[in-house]
Amino acid sequence: MDISVVIPLFNEEESLPELEAWIRRVMEANRFTYEIIMVDDGSKDRSWQVIKDLTQKNPYVRGIKFRRNYGKSAALHVGFEAVKGDVVITMDADLQDSPDEIPELRRMIVEDGFDLVSGWKKTRHDPISKTIPSKFFNGVTRWISKIPLHDFNCGLKAYRHNVVKSIEIYGEMHRYTPLLAKWSGFGRITEKVVEHRARKYGVSKFGLDRFINGFLDLLSITFIGKFGKRPMHFFGLLGTLFFICGVVILAYLSWAKLVYKEYGITDRPLFFFGILTLIVGTQLFVTGFLAELLVRNSSTRNTYVIEKEIG
């Protein structure tokens, strides 16, 4: 199969028929073999009924429905588990991403040899309350990740099949699939300027809290990428440095008492600072040791409850 299109959605009943028809026209015009996987993230409207109707009209449409709302990352995770295409395209269901971009995105994967191509909404049809924080967020992410992308959060992306099978998305990590791919060894990552259309139906499902959560997730994923399999290298190093600092401080105070006959060293602030660094160092070292044990014995499993699946 040439292409799998994964569409996470929440309360998008109005846009789904138009989006499916648009994707179908693009696929048929380019003679691609394809599948469309629509993941209903616990919608409260008629989105699932619309998906069921679409599967009756188009045998290449598949539907997955969550029992409740888990978030976009969860929807992408189960969508990636289900895909069969050589190239995987993700896009939002609100018609702000253009399916006309699909042929060129696929070409960049198949012919140019990229592992991941991320869309760049260079011209955006969003209010300033979204564009300014987005620029700041992308700048910070670009600086921390060292990946030269302008728009990490663009929903329109193309992946090589083995990339989506090698990464695990959870929390709010859907923003950082390029970084997840990089940590998994897929370094050929680029971007393409894509059309950003004004929202036609409904309202945005994301608020300003996504930037706070996104930044916290960036710190988390950076730590996991570097130390996820060896936490002792992080906590153990910090713990050892703090512990040595405490030993040096207390050794100095003990030497000062013996040589200069100082009294009342327990009244000096430096004494309490030395005790504090000893305690903190010990706690960090033990944290790293316990984390190492958990990593060695942990197993992951999918905890998303799928209510229905069709197609």
For residues 138 and 149, the answer to whether their CB atoms sit within 8 Å is yes
Is the same domain home to 268 and 199?
no
Is the same domain home to 215 and 93?
yes
Q: Within 10 Å of residue 65's Cβ, how many Cβ atoms?
A: 19
Is the same domain home to 201 and 242?
no
With vertex at residue 5, the alpha carbon angle to CA 163 and CA 77, rounded to the nearest 5 degrees, is: 50
Q: Write the CATH number for 162.
A: 3.90.550.10
Helical spans, DSSP H, in 200-309: 209-227, 232-260, 269-297
How far from 253 is each of 168, 245, 246, 268, 280, CA to CA, in Å? 51, 13, 11, 9, 19
For residues 45 and 129, the answer to whether their CB atoms sit within 8 Å is no
Is the same domain home to 242 and 223?
no
Is the same domain home to 258 and 187?
no
Q: How many Å apart are CA 237 and CA 246, to the nearest integer? A: 14
Helix axes 209-227, 128-145, angle to 10 degrees: 10
Whether residue 309 is contained in a domain is answered as: no
- Cα-Cα-Cα-Cα dihedral sign, residues 9, 11, 13, 19: negative
Question: Where among 227, 262, 286 does a domain terminate?
Answer: 227
Per the structure, the count of domains in the chain is: 2
Is the same domain home to 27 and 158?
yes
* Token pair listed for 66: 């969550």
Q: How many Å apart are CA 73 and CA 84, to the nearest integer? A: 19
Q: How many Å apart are CA 291 and CA 289, to the nearest integer? A: 5
**pLDDT given for residue 258 in this prediction:** 80
Is the same domain home to 269 and 130?
no
pLDDT tens for the 311 residues of the chain, in order: 999 999 999 999 999 999 999 999 999 999 999 999 999 999 999 999 999 999 999 999 999 999 999 989 999 999 999 999 999 999 999 999 999 999 999 999 999 999 999 999 887 766 666 667 778 778 887 887 888 999 888 999 999 999 999 998 877 788 889 988 988 889 899 999 998 887 777 666 555 566 666 666 667 766 766 776 778 888 888 999 999 999 999 898 888 878 776 666 777 888 889 999 999 999 998 988 888 777 666 655 455 667 777 87
Looking up tokens 């859907």 gives 174
Is the same domain home to 220 and 260?
no
Whether residue 167 is contained in a domain is answered as: yes
Q: How do strand 157-160 and strand 34-40 relate by DSSP bridges? A: unpaired
Q: What's the pTM value of the predicted model, to 2 decimals? A: 0.74
**pLDDT given for residue 63 in this prediction:** 97
Is the same domain home to 19 and 44?
yes
* Token pair listed for 72: 């976009």
Please tell me the chain's helix, strand, coil percentages from 3-state DSSP, rounded to the nearest 5. 50, 15, 35
**pLDDT given for residue 126 in this prediction:** 65
How far from 151 is each of 125, 176, 188, 219, 244, CA to CA, in Å? 14, 10, 16, 18, 44
Question: Where among 209, 227, 245 does a domain terminate?
Answer: 227
Domain that includes residue 257, residue range:
232-297
Is the same domain home to 68 and 203?
yes
Is the same domain home to 192 and 46?
yes
DSSP run (H or E) holding 179? helix 177-183
Whether residue 306 is contained in a domain is answered as: no
**pLDDT given for residue 125 in this prediction:** 64
Q: How many Å apart are CA 126 and CA 107, to the nearest integer? A: 29
Whether residue 308 is contained in a domain is answered as: no
Is the same domain home to 66 and 213?
yes
